[in-house]
Amino acid sequence: MKDLKRFFEPRAVAVIGASSTPHKPGNDVIRNMLANGYTGKIFPVNPKGGEILGIRAFRSIQDLPEGLDLAIIILPAKANPAAVRECAARGIEAVVLAAGGFSEVDEQGRALQEELLRAIKETGIRALGPNTSGHSSMPHHFTSSFFPLGRIPRGPISYIAQTGNFATHTMRYISTEEHFGVARVVGLGNKLDIDENDILEYYATDPETKAIFVYLESFKNPKRFMKIAGEVTRSKPVILLKGGGTVEGAKAAVAHTAAMASDDRLIDAALKQAGVVRIYEYSHLVLAAKVLACMPLPKGNRVSFLAPSGAQLVCITDLCRRTLELDVPEVEETTRRRLQEISPSFIRMRNPVDIWPAASVRGMLEAYREGMEAVLKDPNIDAVVPILLLTDETGVPPLDFLVDLSRKYPDKPILTTFTGEKKHREAAQAFLEPGGVPTFPLIEEPFKVLSILAACRRARDRSDLRRIEKD
Amino acid sequence: MKDLKRFFEPRAVAVIGASSTPHKPGNDVIRNMLANGYTGKIFPVNPKGGEILGIRAFRSIQDLPEGLDLAIIILPAKANPAAVRECAARGIEAVVLAAGGFSEVDEQGRALQEELLRAIKETGIRALGPNTSGHSSMPHHFTSSFFPLGRIPRGPISYIAQTGNFATHTMRYISTEEHFGVARVVGLGNKLDIDENDILEYYATDPETKAIFVYLESFKNPKRFMKIAGEVTRSKPVILLKGGGTVEGAKAAVAHTAAMASDDRLIDAALKQAGVVRIYEYSHLVLAAKVLACMPLPKGNRVSFLAPSGAQLVCITDLCRRTLELDVPEVEETTRRRLQEISPSFIRMRNPVDIWPAASVRGMLEAYREGMEAVLKDPNIDAVVPILLLTDETGVPPLDFLVDLSRKYPDKPILTTFTGEKKHREAAQAFLEPGGVPTFPLIEEPFKVLSILAACRRARDRSDLRRIEKD
């Protein structure tokens, strides 16, 4: 595990196959490092020498100084085995192998991968890839990604992804459209040496990582994964999207990463035992992360929500109970009385909270603020979802109160969603998310995410219980 | 049923409680009619007389001319029974009762509702409401809504909603943010006289209505509903969101519309028998409608999709098989060969379609166009979902080909979704949707909607089969 420090905290990095041509991977990788303020040393290697992005380039691996932590090898597939050996000969103990064209492609690629594996084994070098889309380590302002990413926001979420898409396009989406940041992101590639278990083990003790999201199409060593995960989930949620859980999905996975199908029910039982929470939608890799980036797990699955529509109160309650395993409990009598105080008397206030009458009388701002504070104080409630109605008539009222409430009640996640006109929702989102209040465009989404978070809490509680029973 | 023509095609309408004060319901209702180009006559009634929005106002119901089709009564609850009798005395046979404050509120309201019911029964007048948010009939450019709606787009979707929210805020959302239109929209209110069965019967033979969406919290007469629905669903999809299907949801429904809980499993079986497709998310009332507004039901549940990411191919296939009851079948050999022709040889092309390699070689435009045409031609495929990757590098290519393909293959719904930067997705949406190609922001949504539409097709096929067996 110690080896991985070279990957996540490299002090000096070689880029084998660096290029002075913009938009080439060997150029973008250095641009990415500079854009993220990497403070270590960069050593481009290109047969032509000269300068690349203002940095002196070396003509060959042999010319490099000793003592480099990491080499990013961006060369054609067939040049990789020799490059690995040359790096090892130069004293480099860690490499990132960007090229594709190995076992994921054809028979020839499989042979080449065997050759690469020999080079890795014989030199004892640690390798990420091949066919990796790179990795990022934001506390160290470092990335090995050769996909143009620009500045990646730093935060407490770490990802492991057995797909090129995540560390590239999805990361770009997170950087440009979301308001949360990441600690570490690893595209696993073909997992020839480093696999999900090594990374998970590193994240386990990584103080920068508060929550771990994993996309896998195959387990390199399921037993080891479950063992590590069983430890990690006692302190950090581990949320997994397993691709290829159906027969047809598994066929698609063979085409994608040559992943072998595993018995989904066995995997499911083992993951449950290990406290890993499964998700089933790619979008939730982002939507659940945006909450965990700024809020803790809820203490349980008891939710209160405030809506401007009776139909929404009814339908969301049904959804919580029917499929999401969320409770929408009665609140205490003092809470009920407080809700009644802010509302016209013709509505008998309860949870979920019909906030429209109160809003018509007292204005949006006061109704939601007072209503939310009432349910946030209630010991029966673990999380609160305000469904804000923002229209041309209401405009966007000052929403600082949501930021204030989320600070005042830090143990109770507040997930905000909207009805009404899109332009107002977007203005509210642009204000709330940088303030640490996550928002969702469809009214059902915050509840689906809360369902995932409540499952993480149950997993941790089960694990605590097992430890107590053992003692 | 004939009576309802007065509601949907009124030639002359009285507004009892019309107001010259902007933003009052009695003013907004007339503004709405004018904004939608209502060509019938409007007769405002206000004790002060004068003019309202340039239209001569009458001082009392008694002063109105004879022969009006409809009166919209916007008066305090307790004034409603007398107003109904006066309207009837003036020869008006149809009324819309806007006021709330009846049985949905308290004991006093219940008594008032009894009195109102006597007025309706004794006069034989047909009444929508009370506590209705109004109704709209776009082929007739008419609306009785007193919530400021502006111009409502006309289209083939009709709604029945037992909630005020739908005909107000959700309709406003549809008008301003979506690109599809409605034929008829009815907010049922307290269903004192006209109920969902009357409206469903009207929609059944309404040539303007191609698909029917229903939100109900209670059935006035479930047997009659199932009987009418069983007929309608042979030619028009009926999609129902039933609020209060769980114990807790039913409690919320009592608070909302005083709806009595019914046994959800019995309802479920009867709906299935009648060919009505249940949905479980409020958002789907809009998301499924936007597809049916411009496309037919798919012929079956066999979907092809094209994605720029192997992980998305895998995860969406899993989702289709695990929960959505959608098939992602193998395509014919000729289709496979055509896909292979447009792609680099190292990818073995199949369904779902990994379009990224082809796009890297031939450009987004040609890869998606040729790939989509190949699967659209395949007899094993009923619907196609392109997941377009739109980034700062790709920009937004000319997307006319999607509009062209949806016209060339009118029997196969094309639902488009995106990955990449939001600004490009929104530009693509703004181009595609007015062209009749519905789009979805999250990659899972088009598949969830296709699952609903495939269920509608199955329901129709079952009904056809039953008829054949009978013959």
Q: Where in chain B are the domains?
A: 2-292, 303-457
The total number of residues shown for chain A amounts to: 471
Query: Which regions in chain B score pLDDT beneath 70?
Result: 1-2
| CB atoms B256 and A164 under 8 Å | no
* For residue A130, cis peptide bond before it (omega within 30 degrees of 0): yes
- Put simply, the chain A residues between 388 and 407 with a CB less than 8 A from any chain B CB are 389, 391, 393
Question: Which of B255, B309, B328 lies at the smallest CB-CB distance from A165?
Answer: B309
Collapse the DSSP code of B364 into the 3-class scheme (helix H, G, I; strand E, B; otherwise coil) and give the result.
Answer: helix
Q: Which residues pair with B3 in a beta bridge?
A: none
Cα(B322)–Cα(A172) distance, rounded to whole angstroms? Answer: 29
Cα(B358)–Cα(B363) distance, rounded to whole angstroms? Answer: 7
Yes or no: is domain A2-292 CATH 3.50.50.100? no
Question: Which of A245, A255, A443 lies at the smallest CB-CB distance from B354?
Answer: A255
pLDDT at A256: 82
Contact A286, A441 (CB under 8 A): no
Please report where in the chains the tokens 């065997």 appear, as a residue: A114
CA A53 to chain centre: 31
pLDDT at A1: 44
In A114-220 the beta strands, taken as DSSP E runs, fall at 126-128, 135-137, 142-143, 154-161, 182-187, 211-216
Cα(A389)–Cα(B173) distance, rounded to whole angstroms? Answer: 11
Establish if B261 touches chain A: CB-CB under 8 angstroms. Answer: no
For residues B106-125, b (16+ Cβ closer than 10 Å) or e, as one string? eeebeebbeebbebbeebeb
Query: C-alpha distances in angstroms, A71 versus A30, A32, A112, A471?
Result: 12, 15, 20, 47
From chain B, the residues in CB contact with A280 under 8 A are 315, 318-319, 322-323
Establish if A252 touches chain B: CB-CB under 8 angstroms. Answer: yes
- B303-457: CATH superfamily: Succinyl-CoA synthetase domains (3.40.50.261)
Cα(A144)–Cα(A212) distance, rounded to whole angstroms? Answer: 20
pLDDT at B264: 87
CA A372 to chain centre: 28
Nearest CA in chain A to B147: A393
Cα(B57)–Cα(B45) distance, rounded to whole angstroms? Answer: 5
Q: What is the pTM of this model?
A: 0.96
Query: Which regions in chain A score pLDDT beneath 50?
Result: 1
From chain B, the residues in CB contact with A164 under 8 A are 309-310
Contacts of B441 (CB under 8 A, 6+ apart): A441, B417, B418, B425
H or E segment and range at residue A222: helix A222-232
Give the model confidence (pLDDT) of A70-128 as tens digits: 999 999 999 999 999 999 999 999 999 999 999 888 899 999 999 999 999 999 999 99
Please report where in the chains the tokens 């000096």 appear, as a residue: A12
Contacts of A361 (CB under 8 A, 6+ apart): A343, A344, A367
Nearest CA in chain B to A255: B348
- Put simply, the chain B residues between 398 and 457 with a CB less than 8 A from any chain A CB are 419-422, 441-444
Establish if B346 touches chain A: CB-CB under 8 angstroms. Answer: yes
Contact A401, A407 (CB under 8 A): no
Nearest CA in chain A to B250: A314
| CB atoms B173 and A282 under 8 Å | no
Give the closest residue to A305 by CA, choosing from A364, A372, A243, A248. Answer: A372
Contacts of A374 (CB under 8 A, 6+ apart): A331, A335, A338, A339, A342
Establish if B234 touches chain A: CB-CB under 8 angstroms. Answer: no
Establish if B252 touches chain A: CB-CB under 8 angstroms. Answer: yes
Helix runs in A124-187, H state only: 164-165, 171-177
Fold: same for A2-292 and A303-457: yes
pLDDT at B130: 97
pLDDT at B2: 56
How do B12-16 and B41-45 pair as beta strands?
parallel
From chain B, the residues in CB contact with A244 under 8 A are 314, 318
H or E segment and range at residue A250: helix A247-257
pLDDT at B336: 97
- Provide ipTM, 2 decimals: 0.94
Give the closest residue to B240 by CA, choosing from B209, B262, B215, B260. Answer: B215
Count A/B contacts: CB-CB distance under 8 Å. 206
